[in-house]
Structure 1
């Protein structure tokens, strides 16, 4: 296949859109929690992993198809986010408000790291460290010259639709505008009367819910294990570094760009270069565009 054939391949374009949509959904919650609260959630990929296992159990043990289990998985993730906010992180955020802001990122990093280890080991004890998988909507469909499986088409539709829905929510709803205000000007949000505590727990709930939904989608497409979370966390951080920390809209665009780079890069080289491409992009953006490849300015939103 020539270089031009690769660039014009509808098969690769579909794969790039799917990868970008999933990366966008994974990174969305990570970026939302960091943007509103300046917390580095290194356990985010483990929430994605929990969503994958929830869909697996619903399908294999309860007979609930992933398509119907997805709303329940997302709600369960949102509930877990709310519970974790009220249990662990509300007090940490209060200390930030009372003068501990300089320690917020470091303290949250340590707390999330501990949670990550706990979650991984609990899931390994419950399901064994071995990989799990199941078959769902794996029949091949043909649209022109593009071949795709039903589960991949469903994953693209749900992930893309969820990202668009969150983007509209942030731009059109009062609560979404309050979240954006907290991201861009935290102290000003306090001054104008934004209910910061409500916005923060909603950010946790939305972030964890979107991560769990991403896990349910990923579970239909590939194998997963209790230790799959770390690579997903790294992919999420690559996306938000490219888009600029806390910049949600740019993050979604960066996810699509990363999907294109990964898919076409692997097609032009080989699958063994996938990690090299991802981490190479990460390092280059950090060195050349420290405020984000798509960031409009270097203004610190604190």
Structure 2
């Protein structure tokens, strides 16, 4: 469980803002910077930190406990380094704010939705069709057998960790085109991500997507009537759905 995940959403957002301000790079183009840069950070972190914790842990439970504590420390390190570099002020910029269609939908939201769909389809293709994607799925289902078949489990784990953080960075880039952000907002995104994953069902990518859609609809509905209750609404929906489906929407 990486509780520092949301901090890399924040880093992706601020990388986008920095690139826009320093070299006037289009926010959408900065995806090709934030994603790879944060992937490398994630890969190195896993190799140097989490791999070491894994090798020195006698059991999975102990490793999970150690990794959670380590990610808490990582959360504060990333947050404070970001604060030193970019400050603690609220940052935002105008990007494709004009509305389109009869429903007056902001263009930046449609563009962000299009990016999410393209990235989601590409990720599904990567997992289903590529050699590395098959190695990732095999390692998740049965790491012992995958290792016996020649899969380098440690490299696969590091790549998965890097990909997860890269996705967070890309999400941060898209979020920065829609909302103002600060260097202290990462923890909120971590909580939202955890709620989405648990709602969808642990281990289910399609379930996580459904959970994200549900939470997004709830957010928009509550924000329309009372924006200050949005965060509370997340938890209410989370509890109600878990009471109805303890293993999540797509959980088995």
Write the distance in 1 (CA, Å) between the matches of 2:161 and 2:201: 19
Write the distance in 1 (CA, Å) between the matches of 2:180 and 2:65: 33
Matches within 5 A, 1:18-33: none
Residue 230 of structure 2: aligned partner: 274
Given the alignment, which residue of 2, 11, 16 partners 1:55?
16
Residue 120 of structure 1: aligned partner: 79
Residue 44 of structure 1: aligned partner: 5
Residue 7 of structure 1: aligned partner: none
Q: Is the Cα contact below 8 Å between 2:100 and 2:107 reproduced in 1?
A: no
Matches within 5 A, 1:93-108: 93-96=54-57, 99-108=58-67
| Aligned CA-pair RMSD | 1.8
* Structure 1 position 87 matched with structure 2 position 48: yes
Tell me the SS of whatever aligns to 1:146. Answer: coil
Q: Is the Cα contact below 8 Å between 2:13 and 2:172 reproduced in 1?
A: yes
Residue 32 of structure 2: aligned partner: 71
* Structure 1 position 212 matched with structure 2 position 169: yes
Q: Is the Cα contact below 8 Å between 2:3 and 2:190 reproduced in 1?
A: yes
* Structure 1 position 293 matched with structure 2 position 249: yes
Aligned residues: 252
Q: Is the Cα contact below 8 Å between 1:254 and 1:294 reproduced in 2?
A: no
What residue ranges of structure 2 are gaps of 5+ in the alignment? none
Please list the CA deviations of residues 209-261 of structure 1 after superposition, one character each: whole Å capped at 9, or x if unmatched.
Answer: 11111111111111111101011000100011011222223212221222223
Write the distance in 2 (CA, Å) between the matches of 1:74 and 1:56: 14
> Deviation of residue 266 (structure 1)?
4.0
Please list the CA deviations of residues 22-64 of structure 1 after superposition, one character each: whole Å capped at 9, or x if unmatched.
Answer: xxxxxxxxxxxxxxxxxx1100000000000100000011111
> Deviation of residue 165 (structure 1)?
1.2
Matches within 5 A, 1:225-240: 225-240=182-197
| Larger RCO (CA within 8 A; separation ≥ 6) | 1
> Deviation of residue 265 (structure 1)?
4.3
Q: Is the Cα contact below 8 Å between 1:250 and 1:294 reproduced in 2?
A: yes
Question: When the two structures are superposed, what TM-score results if normalisation uses the length of structure 2?
Answer: 0.93
Write the distance in 2 (CA, Å) between the matches of 1:178 and 1:288: 34
Tell me the SS of whatever aligns to 1:103. Answer: helix
Q: Is the Cα contact below 8 Å between 1:141 and 1:147 reproduced in 2?
A: yes
> Deviation of residue 293 (structure 1)?
2.3
Instruction: Classify 1:183/1:281 alpha carbon distance in 2 versus 1 (closer, same or farther; 3 Å).
Output: farther
> Deviation of residue 288 (structure 1)?
4.0
Q: Is the Cα contact below 8 Å between 2:99 and 2:106 reproduced in 1?
A: yes
Residue 252 of structure 1: aligned partner: 209
Write the distance in 1 (CA, Å) between the matches of 2:142 and 2:218: 33
What residue ranges of structure 1 are gaps of 5+ in the alignment? 1-39, 298-302
Residue 99 of structure 2: aligned partner: 141
